[in-house]
Amino acid sequence: MFDDTRSKKVVVLAHCLLNQNSISDGTADLPSQFEEIVQFLMSRRIGLIQLPCPELLCLGLDRDDRRGAERPLLEENTRIRGLMGEAGHVHVLRERANDLVQQLREYRSHGFEVLGVIGVDRSPSCGVATTSIGGSEQQGKGVFFEILAAVLEENGITIPMIGTKTSEPEASLEKVKHLLVQEESVP
């Protein structure tokens, strides 16, 4: 089954890596998508699974404050992180994480490789190595990626996660390349 030309390789991407239009006001570094990463993955014939944008889903495009862009970035990210941690939003994020688990199980059950999850460091929701806390960039995952990591673990699914930054295209692309090299070397 599925012995056609598809690569049977997929990677999971934070929504804004494919759609910068979804991020909070005043924070876009790019006009549309993170081209360096997207083009690299496409050149390797890797399918892209786009996560929903947790903040757009829970708070709307203006993140519940039309004046959010007037605050310093890390202060605004901290405000957003606080809102995303509210019980109602956590419930929605957990549902979305469970949706992803269902997809990943389906892919894996048919012999597809899920190569990794690519997030966005410093993000209040999709940070992997860093997030925004107390008005500064600190070690830790964003709210959605904390939930996603927990749901994956609860379901016995191990997938490497890396964080990128649109303001650091070369370093981010190197992280993606390193992720794929690691995955290709696993027997």
What is the per-residue pLDDT across 119-157, written as a single tens digit (0 to 9) for each? 999 999 999 999 999 999 999 999 999 999 999 999 999
pLDDT at 3: 86
Question: Is the model's pLDDT at 175 over the cut of 50?
Answer: yes
3-state secondary structure of 6: coil
pLDDT band at 1 (very low <50, low <70, confident <90, very high): confident
Give dist(CA 51, CA 18) in Å, integer: 10
Averaged pLDDT of the chain? 95
pLDDT band at 185 (very low <50, low <70, confident <90, very high): low
Q: Which residues lie across from 132 on neighbouring strands?
A: 137
pLDDT at 187: 47
Reported pTM: 0.94
φ, ψ dihedrals at 133, nearest 5°: -140, 135
CA 169 to chain CA centroid, nearest Å: 16
Question: Is the model's pLDDT at 182 over the cut of 80?
Answer: no
